[in-house]
Structure 1
Amino acid sequence: MKVRLLASSDAESYWKLRLEALKQNPEAFATSYEEAIKRENPIEQVATNMDAEGSYTFGAYENETLIGMVTLLQEKHQKLRHRASIFAMYVTPEKQGVGIGEALLKEVIKTAISIDEIEKLNLTVVKINERAKGLYTKLGFMSFGLEEKALKIGNSYYDEEYMVLFLH
């Protein structure tokens, strides 16, 4: 398994894995699968996002297949540039539990530390996702809040926990 920063040339494989993530774990993402497949030129949008300043998307590969991903996004406003957020964390189900998520997050943390402005990382995680929360806690993230009924899928609500990692 190899983790690397994705480039715009990886947009198609990223989009394929993103759609899988939205289908497999709809409660873990604000975007629905149904919304995602209606996007015009999604691969071009992904490629543009990958080239955007302050945006870093990492992928985990097994052989030539993308099996995991995570995005680090630094805030753009001057007063907020000390913050970055982690989004779109996903590892394909058959590869979960073997350290891929941890490798992806360690790469994100290492990258954030290398950017002098970034002092803290924020993320949200669905409260019921104990496995993910365990990984985040293991890497030093601390819970600082809970949003009840943050997501609604059909008639079901999901609470989101806010977590932070201070880098300096």
Structure 2
Amino acid sequence: MDIRLLESSDAKSYWDLRLEALKNNPEAFSSSYEEAIKRDSPVETVLKNLSSEGTFTFGAFNDKELIGVVTLVQESTSKLHHRANIFAMYVSSKFRGLGVGKALISAVINHAKSIETIEKINLEVITTNDTARNLYTKMGFKTYGLEERALKIKNEYYDSEYMVLFLKR
């Protein structure tokens, strides 16, 4: 397995994996599969996001196949520039349980540590996603809040847990 920052040539693979994520785990993302497939020029949007300043998307590869992703976004305003957020974490179901998620989160944490201004990383996870919550806890993230009924899919609600990892105190 290889972990690296995604490049423009990875945009189509990223989009395909994103659609898989939205289809297979709709409760884990605020975007829906139905909305995603209606987007105009989604691969071009991914290309733009991959080159956005302060945005770092890592991919896990099995040979040349993209099997997992995670994005770190540093806040851009001066008062929030010490914060970064993790978004869009996903590992393809057939590669779960093999340490892919841990490798991706480790890559993000190490990258954030290499940016002098980042002092903490925030993330949000659905409370029913025990695998992800356990991974984040093992990686040092601590819960600091809970949002009840954060997502509503059809007539089912999902709560979100907010977690933080302090890189510097």
TM (normalized to structure 2)? 0.99
Any gaps of 5 or more consecutive residues in structure 1? none
Where 1:78 maps in the other structure, the secondary structure is coil
Q: What are the superposed Cα offsets for residues 119-157 of structure 1, whole Å, 9 maximum, x if unpaired?
A: 000000000111100000000000000000000000000
Matches within 5 A, 1:22-37: 22-37=22-37
Q: What are the superposed Cα offsets for residues 61-117 of structure 1, whole Å, 9 maximum, x if unpaired?
A: 001100000000000111000000000000000100110000000000000000001
- Matched residue, 1:162: 162
Report how far residue 12 of structure 1 moved. 0.2
- Matched residue, 2:38: 38
Q: Distance in 1 between the 2:163 and 2:64 partners? A: 32
- Matched residue, 2:52: 52
- Matched residue, 2:72: 72
- Matched residue, 2:94: 94
Where 1:136 maps in the other structure, the secondary structure is helix
Q: Distance in 2 between the 1:82 and 1:95 partners? A: 33
Task: Give the total of aligned pairs.
Answer: 168
- Matched residue, 2:129: 129
- Matched residue, 2:85: 85
- Matched residue, 2:143: 143
Report how far residue 9 of structure 1 moved. 1.4
TM (normalized to structure 1)? 0.99
Where 2:112 maps in the other structure, the secondary structure is helix
Give the alignment's Cα RMSD to 1 decimal.
0.4
Q: Distance in 2 between the 1:120 and 1:157 partners? A: 29
Q: What are the superposed Cα offsets for residues 10-66 of structure 1, whole Å, 9 maximum, x if unpaired?
A: 100000000000001000000000111111000000000000000000000001100
Alignment-mate amino acid for residue 111 of structure 1: H
Any gaps of 5 or more consecutive residues in structure 2? none
Q: Distance in 2 between the 1:8 and 1:106 partners? A: 22
